[in-house]
Amino acid sequence: MLKLILVRLASTIPVILVVTMLIFLLLRLSSGDPALLMAGDTASAEVIESMRISLGLDRPLTVQYGIWLSDLLKGDLGTSILTKQPVAAMIMERLEPTFLLTLSVICLTLLIAVPAGAIAAWFHRTWLDRSVMAFSVVGYSVPAFVIGYLLILSFAIYLNLLPVQGYVSPFTDFLGFVEHMTLPAVTLSIVMMALVARVTRSSLLEILGEDFIRTAKAKGNTDRRVLWKHALPNAAVPIITVIGISIASIIGGVVVTESVFNIPGVGRLTIDAIMSRDYPLVQGLILFFSLVYVGINLLVDLIYVLVDPRIRY
């Protein structure tokens, strides 16, 4: 297992290197100049040029990349062009809301979608199955921002039960955190739940038709035991795969959800950084997201081994 982890970690190094190079080049070759944006509409060419020099943007691309990479190897992600704050600190400051939002979404999904998918499979072709599948189709089809606005309208504006927007750290006010996180977490998890419930159902349907399930039933196992003890673990691999993919894709949804609910997370930070062409910050964020993707993939591979002993790498 340790060898697997080390090998997979080592294999990420060239991936990360390629990602950094691509991002660096894409940003620099795309139009838009942070010096211009900072200097403003009326700045003269001299002012803009002096701004570019002070930001180090006048140097050759290879030199800029070399400096960034060597700083990166020393653990320094650089400094934001706009705010002059360290990029690592800016990401860390915004990480908590995004991390907790993602965690809440995963918990909600596991708690609701997997059982819902199992129920749908067990009660195949009944109203329960059709209800879960209808939810699945709607949940996957409706954009997250529409769901978000509908939830705000219902639970915050009309029913006055929950806040419209904002974020409260659980370390300062746990109840406040739950209040503020409920709507965004539900919004984002609906899409993920729809997908996971559907995959759970289809994998279970396949497993429930297997001989060993019939044998388990013949041996007098209760329905509950057959479903949870025998069928679900054998259907776990595709479910874990789709959960892993969903977590990765949540990052896209986080950007929208953070905007709709005004949560100061890394999603919003990314959009702001791209719009203002804050190169070091965008590079730092993409690097961070790449590491998250790699980490999730590694985690999924490890869970495969734990869930299904037949799997070997």
Partner 1 sequence: MKLFYKPLFAAVILGVSASGVAYAKDPVTLKVATHASLRLLDPMTSTADITRDHSYAVYETLFSLDSQYDPKPQMVGDYSVSADQLEWRFTLRDGLVFHDGAPVKAEDAVASLKRWFARDITGGRLGKITKTIEAVDDKTFKIHLTEPYGLMLDSLAKRNAHVPFIMPKRIAETPSNQNISEVIGSGPLRFVAEEFQPGVRVVYEKHKDYKPRSEPMDALSGAREVKVDRVEWISFPDAQTAINALQKGEIDIIERLNHDMAGLLKDKKGVVVHRSGDMQSPAIRLNWLQAPFNSIENRRAVLHAINQQDFMDALIGDPDGYKVCQALFGCGTPLSSDRGVVAPDPAKAKALLKQGGYKGESTVVLNITDNPTFQGLAPMTAQVLRSIGMKVDMPSMDFATYFSRRKLKTPSSEGGWSVAFGGWSLMDLTSPIANINLDTRGETGYDGWSQDDVMAKLKDDFARATTREEQKEIAAKIQERAYELVFYVPLGTYYNYSAHRESVDRLPQAPVSVYWNIGKPAKANAS
CA atoms of 179 and 167, how far apart (whole Å) = 9
Stretch touching partner 1 by CB under 8 A, among 3-11, 264-272, 294-302, 304-312: 264-272
Residue 172 interacting with partner 1 (CB under 8 A): no
Considering only 17-25, 152-160, 194-202, 229-237, which stretch makes contact with partner 1 by CB under 8 A?
152-160
Helix residue ranges per DSSP H, the chain: 2-29, 34-39, 45-55, 61-73, 87-122, 127-141, 144-151, 174-208, 211-218, 223-225, 232-234, 236-260, 266-275, 279-307
Query: How many angstroms separate the most distant Cα atoms in the chain?
Result: 86
> Distance between CA 93 and CA 273 in Å, rounded?
15
3 state DSSP class of 86: strand
Rounded Cα distance between 88 and 280, Å, is 10
Strand partners, 79: 86
Alpha helices in 43-152 (DSSP H): 45-55, 61-73, 87-122, 127-141, 144-151
Provide the phi-psi class of 220: left if phi over 0, else alpha when psi is between -120 and 50, else beta: left
Among the listed residues 259, 292, 293, 301, the single contact to partner 1 using CB under 8 A: 259
Give the C-alpha distances (Å, rounded to integers) separating 47 from 52, 54, 110, 149, 278. Answer: 9, 11, 55, 44, 19
**Contact pick of 4, 133, 164, 303 for partner 1 (by CB under 8 A):** 164
Are 195 and 116 within 8 A, CB to CB?
no
Q: How far is the CB of 212 from partner 1 (least distance, A)?
A: 19
Q: Which of 170, 238, 264, 295 binds partner 1 (CB under 8 A)?
A: 264
Touching partner 1, residues 194-233 (CB under 8 A): 223-224, 227
Q: Is 83 in the site for partner 1 (CB under 8 A)?
A: yes
Q: Per CB under 8 A, which of residues 21..80 are in contact with partner 1? A: 30-33, 36-45, 47-48, 50-51, 54, 80
Q: How far is the CB of 160 from partner 1 (least distance, A)?
A: 7
The stretch near partner 1 (CB under 8 A) out of 9-17, 58-66, 112-120, 205-213 is 112-120
Of the two residues 47 and 134, which places its CB atom closer to partner 1 in the complex? 47
| C-alpha to C-alpha distances, 81 to 45, 52, 54, 274, 275, nearest whole angstrom | 19, 10, 10, 12, 13
Could you say whether residue 85 binds partner 1 (CB under 8 A)?
yes
DSSP state of 303: H
DSSP helix/strand/coil, 164: coil
Q: Which is nearer to partner 1, 177 or 304 (CB)?
A: 177
Exactly one of 75, 175, 219, 312 binds partner 1 (CB under 8 A); that residue is 175
**C-beta of 267: minimal distance to partner 1 in Å?**
10
Task: Report the nearest approach of partner 1 to the CB of residue 209 (Å).
Answer: 19
DSSP 3-state assignment of 79? Answer: strand
| Interface pick for partner 1 out of 179, 206, 301, 308 (rule CB under 8 A) | 179
Task: Work out whether 251 is an interface residue with partner 1 (CB under 8 A).
Answer: no
Footprint on residues 127-146 left by partner 1 (CB under 8 A)? none
Looking at residue 65, its amino acid is: Y
Closest CB 114 distance from partner 1, rounded Å: 10
Nearest to 165 by CA among 147, 146, 184: 184
Q: Which segment (58-66, 244-252, 262-270, 303-311) binds partner 1 by CB under 8 A?
A: 262-270
User: What contacts 110, CB < 8 A, 6 or more positions away?
Assistant: 243
Residues that bind partner 1 (CB under 8 A): 30-33, 36-45, 47-48, 50-51, 54, 80, 82-85, 90, 93, 108, 111-112, 115, 119, 122, 149, 152, 156-157, 160-166, 175, 178-179, 182, 223-224, 227, 258-262, 264, 268-269, 271-272, 275-277
